[in-house]
Amino acid sequence: MHVPDGFLDVPTSIATGVVSAATIAVALKKSRQELDEKTAPMAGLTAAFVFAVQMLNFPVGVGTSGHLMGGALAAVLVGPWTAVLVLSVVLTVQALVFADGGLTALGTNILLIGIVTVLVGWLVSKAVLRLMPTKPTSVVPASFVGALVSVPAAAAVFVLLYMVGGATELPFGALMATMLGWHTLIGLGEAVITAATVGAVVAVRPDLVYAARGLQPALVLKGADGSTICAPEPIEPGAPVHGRSPWPVVIAGLGVAFLFAGVLSFFASSNPDGLEYVAGSEGFLERARDSAVGEFVLADYGEVGGVPVGVAGLVGVGLTILLGLALFGWIGRRGSRAQSTPPQPAQV
């Protein structure tokens, strides 16, 4: 959904530019609390990863291509303020060097992809975390939901911006419905990849996941003779002392999840842009001649272009949800099993 030059009118572009610049200024100040000398490279790697992930393109019903955004992923890994900076960097480099997204639309793109997705993704993830047991692996389902919601949220803001300053008039209801529909699907793909990546990182290096801070028990340091040098704070219930590695579960979940994401994207890309497909078929053009272009046409391609994809989408959605529930239930059960075994002393 990288908006190009000339898509929105000048006043809207300027307005979004101002909002984005102001938010980045605040983020620069606030990110100092999140970034220390070792998390800066993490921000860079997240930026490179988001860059790569954004190359996976999904077609969108109306207009520019939709693709994974990475806002929620960045927020969970490096914190919301730093995530705004990370996404801003990615979008700016894409606009300047890769010609992806117009320079004058940079404010808009940063607002949608760098701020709305980060904000919504972060807030939703934190809300879900509050409902989960206090352990590092809880960030996985939290980030899944956060990513899932962040994408349609950004799409909704985009439609609102377009109604205010779009190049031309498009019917609001149909536009919103189409965009939300497609972006919920994209949100699912985004959720799977976000959860997979966060899961992989938190399994091996929980210290690198910003959202997992405060979920780990303090470390016990022992002397050579076994005496305790540093005593920890009391461990909250549900927290495994030495995280039994959920590696096997995560890898299995990753493998299957990506298989389905892959299946989804295969389906999505084999029927490229719903509009293209529809425009190609004669029926579309005939109807365009007949009636008020807007509603009928859009409703039509939603059906025509949507039938094969829609079915796949439904199947994919259903399966992913079932899979996700199974996966997270499994992790939850392992966690409570770890809780019941007594903590082992640190051994080298």
Partner 1 sequence: MADGHLHRLYRHGDTPVHRLPAHVKLLALVSFVLVVVATPREAFWAFGVYAALLAAVAAVARVPARFILRRMVVEIPFVVFAVLLPFIALGPTTQVLGVTVSQAGLLAGWNILAKGTLGVVASILLAATTDARELLLALQRLRVPPVLVEITSFMVRYADVTTGEMRRMKIARESRGFDPRSRRALAVVASSAGALFIRSYERGERVHLAMLARGYAGRLPVVEVQQAGAAAWARAAVLPVAALLTATAAWLTT
Partner 2 sequence: MTAQGAVPEQASVPASLEVAGLAFAYPDGHQALFGVDLRIERGERVALLGPNGAGKTTLVLHLNGILTAGAGSVTVAGLPVRKDSLLEIRRRVGIVFQDPDDQLFMPTVRDDVAFGPANLGLSGSELDDRVHDALSQVGMAHVADRPPHHLSFGQRRRVAVATVLAMGPEILVLDEPSSNLDPASRRELAQVLVGLDITLLMVTHDLPYALELCPRSVVLSDGVIVADGATPDLLSDPDLLRRNRLELPFGFDPRTPPPTGPPTSMGRAGTVPA
Which residues of the shown chain bind partner 2 in the complex (CB under 8 A)? 204-207, 216, 219-224, 229-230, 241-243, 346-348
Contact with partner 1 (CB under 8 A) among 273, 312, 320, 338? 273
Structure tokens at 8: 């929105």
- For the bound state, the minimum distance from the C-beta of residue 121 to partner 1, rounded and expressed in Å, comes to 18
**Would you say 233 or 282 has its CB closer to partner 1?**
282
Contact with partner 1 (CB under 8 A) among 256, 299, 319, 323? 256
**Would you say 149 or 298 has its CB closer to partner 1?**
298
- Which of partner 2, partner 1, none does residue 348 bind to, with CB < 5 to 8 Å depending on kind? partner 2
- For the bound state, the minimum distance from the C-beta of residue 343 to partner 1, rounded and expressed in Å, comes to 26
What are the CA-CA distances from residue 42 to residues 74, 87, 99, 239, 266 (Å)?
Answer: 10, 13, 26, 26, 31
Contact with partner 1 (CB under 8 A) among 62, 149, 309, 331? 62
Q: Of 348, 343, 36, 333, which is closest to residue 213 (Cα–Cα)?
A: 36
- Return the residue matching tokens 């001649």: 289
Structure tokens at 147: 């990513």
Cα gap 143→128, rounded to integer Å: 8
Structure tokens at 213: 């801070």
CB contact set of 213 (below 8 Å; sequence gap of 6+)? none
- Beta strands (DSSP E) in the chain are 57-58, 66-67, 221-222, 228-230
Candidate ranges 28-36, 136-144, 179-187, 329-337; the one touching partner 1 (CB under 8 A): 28-36
- Which of partner 1, partner 2, none does residue 242 bind to, with CB < 5 to 8 Å depending on kind? partner 2
Q: Of 155, 146, 147, which is closest to residue 181 (Cα–Cα)?
A: 155
Residues of this chain, 196-225, that bind partner 1 according to CB under 8 A: 196-197, 199-201, 203-205, 208
Contact with partner 1 (CB under 8 A) among 28, 304, 315, 317? 28
